[in-house]
Amino acid sequence: MSNAQAVLESPPELSPVVFQKIRKLVYDTAGIDLREGKETLVSARLGKKLRQLGHRSYDEYLHRVTSDTTGESLIALIDVLTTNFTSFLREPQHFEFLKAKILPALEKRNRIEIWCAAAATGEEPYSLAFTLFEHFGAEAATRCRILATDISTAALAKARAAVYPVQRFESVPREWLPKYLLRGHGASEGFYKIKPEVARIVEYRRLNLIEAFDPGTVFPLISCRNVMIYFDKPTQAKIVNRMAMFLEPGAHFFVGHSESLNGIEHPFQFVKPAIYRKP
């Protein structure tokens, strides 16, 4: 093994100075709070990035990130540090509440729009789409729209492709599979693709939640699950109150079950854990 290979296989130590540089860059750009104690996580995840790109130091890598005028390197850095587990019908209580409480109240509407504000690789917006088709049947194709946003262009590309390994659908009722999915054959064996008529009701857009945004309408539901954990309280308050502006009166707001709005000022009424309502 050459010395160069050894260097690349063993990433350099993450010094306190470099950690603070990364922490400030990520906070200023995306509002993500890399608290003290996250050094091991940052070192492990960025160490892989250094090996992948052939950089010998974090400073060399950070120079690449900050000098990339496309912004893609910065997005890739943020993506590496925030990659989180997701799955279809994750935290099923939300989908049960949607089906039992929210959708029946929207029956008379010709147009139903939902915002999924942390879409990741698409499992959540497609889970919402399945639920809409279960409730409205084929009419969901023309009556419903899901705006799905995320900061990661790589995640959104996977979401738009709408192809997932079979194992990702373990929590999905078996009878839903032939209704909403196309089974892969040949080279695609072991994968499912979301049916086009289901995928078409989801519109993907890249969005950084700490930047000014306007989705162009108000919604009866915004789902912003499992992203608040990355923000400090002031950033959470800023995002939540801005989102409240795009909820209609009586609308609902979902957060992840490991999250709550405790400790920040907001206009919502508590309904049950991880579910809030705008008065």
The answer to whether 59 is a known catalytic residue is no
Structure tokens given for 74: 């910065």
Task: Give me the catalytic one of 23, 79, 145, 150.
Answer: 150
Residues 6+ apart with CB under 8 A from 277: 250, 251, 252, 253, 268, 269, 271
The answer to whether 109 is a known catalytic residue is no
Helix (H) or strand (E) holding 177: helix 177-180
Task: Give me the catalytic one of 33, 45, 59, 68.
Answer: 45
Burial class of residue 274, CB neighbours in 10 A (0-12, 13-18, 19+) = buried
Tell me the residue length of the chain. Answer: 279
User: Which ranges in 15-119 belong to alpha helices (H)?
Assistant: 16-30, 39-53, 58-67, 72-82, 92-97, 103-105
* C-alpha 182, offset from chain centre: 24
Q: Point out the residues that are catalytic.
A: 45, 150
